[in-house]
Amino acid sequence: MTASATEYRLGISGMTCAACAMRIEKVLKRLPGVERAEVNLASEEAIVAGSDAVTRPAIQQAVEKAGYGIRADAGSEKTDREAWFLLAGAALTLPLLLPMALELTVGGMWMIDPWIQLALATPVQFGLGLPFYIGAWRALRAFSGNMDLLVALGTSAAFGLSLFMIDNPHHLYFESAAVIIVLVRLGKWLEKRAKKRTLSALSALNALWPAQARVRRDGVESDIPLQQLASGDIAIVRAGERVPADGRISIGDSEIDESLITGESRPRVVAKGDRVIGGSVNGMGAIEIEVAAVGAETTLARIIRMVTAAQGAKAPIQRLADRVSAIFVPVVIAIATITLIGWLLAGAGIETALINAVAVLVIACPCALGLATPAAIMVGVGAGAKRGILIRDAAALETAGGITVVAFDKTGTLTEGKPRIQGIKTTGGDERQALIIATALQTGSTHALADALRQAAEGLVLPQALEARVVAGRGVTARVDRRQYILGTAKMLQENGVDVVTLHDAAANFAADGASVSYLAETAPQPHLIALFAFADRLRPSAASAVAALHDLGVKSLMLTGDNKGAAARIAAELGLDDIRAELLPDDKTHAVDALQAEGAKVAMVGDGVNDAPALAAADLGLAMATGTDVAIETAGIALMRGDPALVPQAIALARATTRKIKENLAWAFVFNLLGIPLAAFGYLSPIIAGGAMALSSVAVITNALTLNRWRPQ
């Protein structure tokens, strides 16, 4: 799916249930140019994507026409105001419940004067209950229904019946209407407080930005707002301060705490030339950083965008709840009408029939149904972000839970991706001198093998290499101390008249162990072979435990590599992999994934390089090491913020835990309504009990989702 030209994320006010979210989605999808519209009840946000024809004013107008508004967060002040309204409503309602309490404890018949009941109930009905009437009117105006309509109809019926029968004080239901309103408002207030906790991970990430940055410009140090920081600036970070942006250390060394970004609990030792991430915390040493990325281009900003998008997206399993919610309110009103008529036909009085119909209207609120999936997704995505597992969207989360096979790339995924010299063999000369010449030839190279040579030759005095010429994919030639040398593949040496047969057996032994080989030779004045260098990439320390953890989850593992079969078999045996596919080109990896899927497997591909991108896209789920390339990360459904294979089974385990919570929530919501509506219709639930149960159902769903915050990898 191609990215849309325009995407907006807006807060929505006035939503009370899943039916509201569905109605807003339908309205937004009808706008010209809109390709995708998703409304999340839990986060109270809408994501609208489409062509350049889609504008924010048009979206706002459509939302307002549907009877809702664009939310402007009022923070804790709004929550506090709601709390005071609730306390006032509860204070007026409690006296209405006093006679019932006295009858249960003392016995006898107790009754408050009907006109006093009316005086107490009226402010609750039309003051605390005003939002329900406003929401109901919006729904009716849009020719649809929502929770507000159900509550407004139910409480108005109870209040109106009591007002009609005020001269018969033994059959008044003012307390039922008042208690329903107080309980539903209390449930919504508790729900909002709980929903804030589902966004705790996102809040923690946003809090990582420092307010200011200290920079040196034209030799002068000054503190500037973070928004004024520019690429190329030299930022000064003292001990204990947060790094203001992505960059590389130009002066100093220290330890960097990146735990909230990568999930790695141990500080990382850094020195000149090392990359640092904005938002991380500097340790004991002062450092200077050359800023490479600011604002939206930083790693932290990308993480926040991914977490925000994932928390706002819908999982495929949500479609079932959406379909039910779309027809739920009209069906409930029909059931309530049938209940009313049925009781009347059965010979019950209008009071009994009406109260049972009211109980149906109140118990059937679809709030829990609408919150079941998004609440669990928001908490699950946040829990993953805290541990360095960035889930791109809800579909990836759901897919991850069903993975049966994980295919690993080798280099940079199961291995560190940093070759080291495994051995040196000479034709009779000095190994140290051979290393000096080979490293001199690679002085200006950025190739990984050149880095391995420089690391091995650290501390040695290198001669100057002149007239260096690189042959792509083959090697390098240069003149050192008036002699012409070549460092490269066997084929390159043979093309230059150098016979490598002397070291053939040594090369074969190294290759069998998975090492790659480069030859050093002198080509002038007399061509002859000097030495062989074997390079090997070390396995990541957690690779074996990651494979074992996958097996514990019942997931098979295999490796897709371009290495020879012998080297691949050795690594597979060392790690305990179930299968290997060796000597593969990038396209072959994609074909291997396709073949596994054809066998019925749900495949996750784990990689880090550009050559892994096609296989990542072809797999049911792509997991990219964030230590790799941007192309791999952008292609994958899940980004792993540390180069740690152990994050792969952790991501699958978290996805399964989240999917389990979604199913538990949906089951709770469906069972609650399937049992509650018949009980209310047959007169086994009073409106007061129905109101309390309905309010608590939404809180129960969110509370169940919040238990994911306690999830820990095994």
Percent of the chain predicted with pLDDT > 70: 87
Determine the Cα–Cα distance for residues 493 and 487; give it in Å rounded to an integer: 8
Q: What is the mean pLDDT of the chain?
A: 82
**Mean pLDDT on 39-46:** 79
- pLDDT given for residue 486 in this prediction: 92
pLDDT for res 629: 47
Quick: pLDDT tens for 366-416.
Answer: 667 767 777 888 888 888 888 888 887 778 888 898 999 999 988 778 888
pLDDT at 46 over 50: yes
In which element (H, E) is residue 340 found? Answer: helix 318-345
3-state DSSP: the chain helix, strand, coil percent, rounded to 5? 55, 20, 30
Omega prior to 525 cis, within 30 of 0: yes
Which pLDDT band holds residue 75 (cuts at 50, 70, 90)? very low
CA-based nearest residue to 288, from 257, 258, 244: 244
Q: Which long-range contacts (CB under 8 A, 24 or more apart) does 38-42 make?
A: 38/312, 38/313, 38/314, 39/12, 39/15, 40/311, 40/312, 40/313, 40/314, 40/374, 41/15, 41/17, 41/370, 41/371, 41/374, 42/195, 42/198, 42/371, 42/374, 42/375, 42/378, 42/702
Lowest mean pLDDT among 189-193, 288-292, 389-393, 481-485: 189-193
**Cα torsion 144, 150, 156, 158: sign:** positive
Asked if residues 210 and 194 have their Cβ atoms less than 8 Å apart, the reply is no
Q: Are strands 556-560 and 405-409 parallel, antiparallel or unpaired?
A: parallel
Confidence of residue 77 (pLDDT cuts 50, 70, 90): very low
- The Cα 528–Cα 402 span in angstroms is 58
DSSP notation for 208-233: TS-SEEEEEETTEEEEEEGGG--TT-
Mean pLDDT, residues 474-480 taken together = 86
Residue of 82, 83, 63 whose CA lies nearest to 10: 63
| pTM given for the model | 0.69
pLDDT for the residue numbered 321: 64
487-506 per-position pLDDT tens digit: 988 888 888 888 888 898 89
Q: pLDDT by residue (tens digit) across 134-165? A: 888 877 877 766 777 878 887 888 888 788 87
Burial class (CB in 10 A: 0-12, 13-18, 19+), 217: exposed
> Who wins on pLDDT, 146 or 589?
589
3-class SS of residue 4: coil
| pLDDT of 268 above 60 | yes
Distance CA 384, CA 713 (A): 10
Domain 206-297, second-level architecture = Distorted Sandwich (2.70)
CATH architecture of 390-416+539-641: 3-Layer(aba) Sandwich (3.40)
Higher pLDDT, residue 145 or 482: 482
DSSP symbol at 501: G
The predicted structure's pLDDT at residue 74: 44
**The CATH fold of domain 6-73:** Alpha-Beta Plaits (3.30.70)
Bigger pLDDT: 624 vs 72: 624
The strands making up 212-217's β-sheet, listed across from edge to edge, are 220-225, 212-217, 234-237, 287-293, 246-251, 275-276
Instruction: Return the axis-axis angle of helices 130-141 and 174-198, rounded to nearest 10°.
Output: 80
Strands 603-607 and 621-625: parallel
pLDDT at 406: 95
CATH topology identical between 206-297 and 390-416+539-641: no
Average pLDDT for 538-544: 89
Q: pLDDT band for position 555 (50/70/90)?
A: very high
pLDDT tens-digit readout, 79-132: 567 788 889 988 998 888 787 666 666 665 677 888 998 999 999 999 998 988
For residue 218, the model assigns a pLDDT of 86
Domain ranges of the chain: 6-73, 77-200+308-377+659-710, 206-297, 390-416+539-641, 420-536
- Residue 79, pLDDT score: 59
Four-residue CA torsion sign, 635, 640, 644, 649: negative
Across 701-705, average pLDDT: 86
- CATH T-level assignment (fold) for domain 420-536: Calcium-transporting ATPase, cytoplasmic domain N (3.40.1110)
- Cα–Cα dist 7/4, whole Å: 7
pLDDT of residue 365: 67
Strands (E), 405-527: 405-409, 420-426, 465-471, 475-480, 483-488, 516-524
The Cα 7–Cα 281 span in angstroms is 32
Active site residues: 409
Ramachandran quadrant class, 412 (left: phi over 0; alpha: psi -120 to 50; beta: rest): left
Please name the residue that has the structure tokens 């004991």.
284
* Run of H or E including 443: none
Q: Using CB atoms within 10 Å of the CB of residue 157, give its burial: 0 to 12 exposed, 13 to 18 middle, 19+ buried.
A: buried
DSSP 540: P
